[in-house]
Chain A
């Protein structure tokens, strides 16, 4: 991480304070006029129990003095991920945590003042609410939730657009504040426009928003406190149903079925590969594993069961979703992400400093990187030279790499080569080892009967 990025403000839009990441530490500054309220929330029973259960980011007070900025330090989440890198299941999980947080705030006489997926990070497969400044004292007679529109725009509408229009969730990368109802409405079929929850969260807001284009929330719309509380609870209940209604059923793709349909592996090859990788994981005992091209997470789960914290990247949403569901079901420390090693997520936001790039987050964070069945794709589809693959791998791992070399005679290699033999047909194991030798030394080699070769490599220092 560069020194500039290390000290750039990560968030600053909230007038109550800002967040800075300095190396491995995360600091939040709260302006004096908001300090007391923030401390009152952090010391509440709800905040303490949420921190203990890992649902709210662990926070300690670093500096507290009357009339001065309040300084907080948060425990760093192992690997930050952003909504544009999440699977649909992660979106649902983040939305449900946000609504649960909002619901519990009501009992404290508080309210969630912003409700965006950017308030959530994942620790393994568990969502964590990280914006402690999102909680504020509620006007007990006000039945309106001002963050309702933001929740709809940033959670519901991207999910509805994904389900009904096939717009990828990764498009949230270019929509910081989500979709406006008017962006989605014209593309929906007549039937979709009147379906729940699209009718109440796209169609009606679009029609009403057109009529009242410059509208702001009414200040004097009041209800008795118990009625206002009832309105808030009813709204959150309805939002929970709405979010569940826009989650698509588990989709499949060519890659999500890959472990079952990979006919170029015999069961013996598969067992040998599992045995080789498993033996390394249980002997090297890495603490932080990056599984690049992790697919449905077969090897990520192996790593997680050996005790490592795992981040698993794959470009296929359906495969990553399966990985996610299996991680949740097995309560495994795996963070599946929809991410492309060849086209990594860029840095975003103001001064490119609000969201770090994928590689900036990954740089030197892992002590073992796995690239199984991936290198031929990088070579032949993404056209990345072997030396470049080796260089980047060495930037991500501090110690180990498990790599799979696929020879030019392999059926999949031939399929992907598509007649470009003059360019790639000469590539062989010797050339592969040569390209990696500048950064790695081979420690162990295992040839499978299908011709593929597995390597354990140790990074040169």
Chain B
């Protein structure tokens, strides 16, 4: 891809990132599924924590593949982000 499109791409990525965060926040407004109070702050933290854990998992897996240490090709995360919320 030519270099002059990069600012475009960066802009699109930024918008997608913002939309992703908005999507997560919108999802918070849905009713709770548990009979115990999940706690607003704790849910938000878990979402962030799960995203981080997913990213680490993904990166570690990619690194292992690069180094030829992966034991199971079936567990490779797909091209869709493994940690992104799906609205």
Interface residues of A (CB under 8 A from B): 13-15, 113-114, 116, 143-150, 152-153, 177, 180-181, 200, 204-210, 212-224, 226-228, 230-231, 234-235
Q: A395–B68 Cα gap in the complex (Å)?
A: 72
Q: Which of B58, B83, B87 contacts A220 (CB 8 A)?
A: B87
User: In the complex the two chains form, is A114's CB within 8 Å of B36's CB?
Assistant: yes
Bound: A200/B53 CA distance, A: 15
Q: List 15 A-B contacts (CB under 8 A).
A: A13-B35, A114-B35, A144-B50, A153-B39, A204-B45, A205-B40, A208-B41, A209-B44, A212-B25, A214-B40, A215-B44, A221-B50, A222-B86, A224-B82, A235-B46
Q: Does residue B24 face the partner (Cβ distance < 8 Å to A)?
A: yes
Q: Are B57 and A213 in contact (CB under 8 A)?
A: no
Closest to B83 in A: A223
Q: How far is the CA of A212 from the CA of B78 in the complex (A)?
A: 32
Do residues A212 and B28 form an inter-chain contact, with CB atoms below 8 A? yes
Instruction: Indicate whether B38 reaches chain A with its CB closer than 8 angstroms.
Output: yes
Known interface pairs A149-B37, A205-B45; 18 further A-B residue pairs with C-beta atoms within 8 A, sorted by A's residue number:
A114-B36, A143-B50, A144-B46, A147-B34, A149-B39, A149-B41, A205-B42, A207-B41, A208-B40, A215-B28, A216-B29, A216-B32, A218-B30, A221-B47, A222-B85, A224-B78, A227-B57, A230-B57
Residues of chain A within 8 A (CB-CB) of B49 are: 231, 234-235
A255 to chain B, nearest CB (A): 37
Decide if the interface of chain A is mainly helix, strand, loop or mixed. Answer: loop
Bound complex: CA of A13 vs CA of B27, how far in Å?
Answer: 27
Query: Which of B33, B36, B54, B78 has the most C-beta atoms of chain A within 10 angstroms of its own C-beta?
Result: B36
A220–B47 alpha-carbon span in the complex (Å): 11
Residues of B within 8 A of A216 (CB): 28-32, 38, 40, 43
Query: Interface on B for A, CB 8 Å cutoff?
Result: 24-25, 27-47, 49-50, 53-54, 57-58, 75, 77-78, 82-83, 85-87
Question: Chain B nearest CB: distance from A225 CB in Å?
Answer: 10
Decide: B41 and A150 in contact? CB cutoff 8 A: no
**In the complex, what residues of B have CB within 8 A of residue A226's CB?**
57, 75
A15-B35, A220-B86 known; A148+B42 contact, CB < 8 A = yes
Q: Is the CB of A205 within 8 A of B54?
A: no
Q: Which residues of A contact B38 (CB under 8 A)?
A: 144, 146-150, 216-217
Q: How far is the CA of A204 from the CA of B83 in the complex (A)?
A: 21
Residues in B neighbouring A213, C-beta threshold 8 A: 40
Task: State A371–B76 Cα separation when bound (angstroms).
Answer: 66
Chain B residues contacting A153 (CB-CB under 8 Å) are 39
Residues of A close to B77: CB separation below 8 A: 224, 227
Which residues from A are CB-within-8-Å of B85?
Answer: 218, 220-222
B40/A227 in contact, CB under 8 A: no
Most chain A CB inside 10 Å of its own CB: which residue of B30, B44, B77: B44
In the A-B complex, the 10 residue pairs with the smallest Cβ-Cβ separation, listed nearest first, are A149-B39, A205-B41, A218-B27, A209-B41, A149-B42, A146-B34, A215-B40, A143-B50, A208-B41, A215-B28
* Cβ contact within 8 Å between B36 and A147: yes
| Structural contact, A220 and B45, CB atoms closer than 8 A | no
* Chain A residue at minimal CB-CB distance from B43: A217
Residue in chain B with minimal CB distance to A224: B82
Query: Chain A nearest CB: distance from B73 CB in Å?
Result: 13
**Nearest Cβ distance between residue B74 and chain A, in whole angstroms?**
9
Nearest-Cβ distance from residue A147 to partner chain B, whole angstroms: 6
Measured in the bound complex, the distance between the Cα atoms of B43 and A222 in whole Å is: 14
Pair B43/A219 contact, Cβ less than 8 Å: no
Residues of A within 8 A of B47 (CB): 144, 218, 221
B17 to chain A, nearest CB (A): 16
Contacts of A227 in B (CB 8 A): 53-54, 57-58, 77, 82-83
Q: Give complex CA distance A150, B40 in Å.
A: 11
Query: Could you tell me the distance in whole angstroms from the C-beta of B16 to the nearest C-beta in chain A?
Result: 17
B-chain residues with CB within 8 Å of residue A209 when the two chains form the complex: 39-42, 44
Q: How far is the CA of A24 from the CA of B30 in the complex (A)?
A: 44
Contacts of B36 in A (CB 8 A): 113-114, 116, 146-147, 149-150
- In the assembled complex, the Cα of A181 lies from the Cα of B41 at a distance in Å of 9
Q: Which residues of A contact B86 (CB under 8 A)?
A: 220-222
A212 touching B41, Cβ below 8 Å: yes
Most buried by B among A208, A221, A230: A221
- Shortest CB–CB separation between residue A428 and chain B, in angstroms? 57
- CB <8 Å contact, A212 and B44: yes
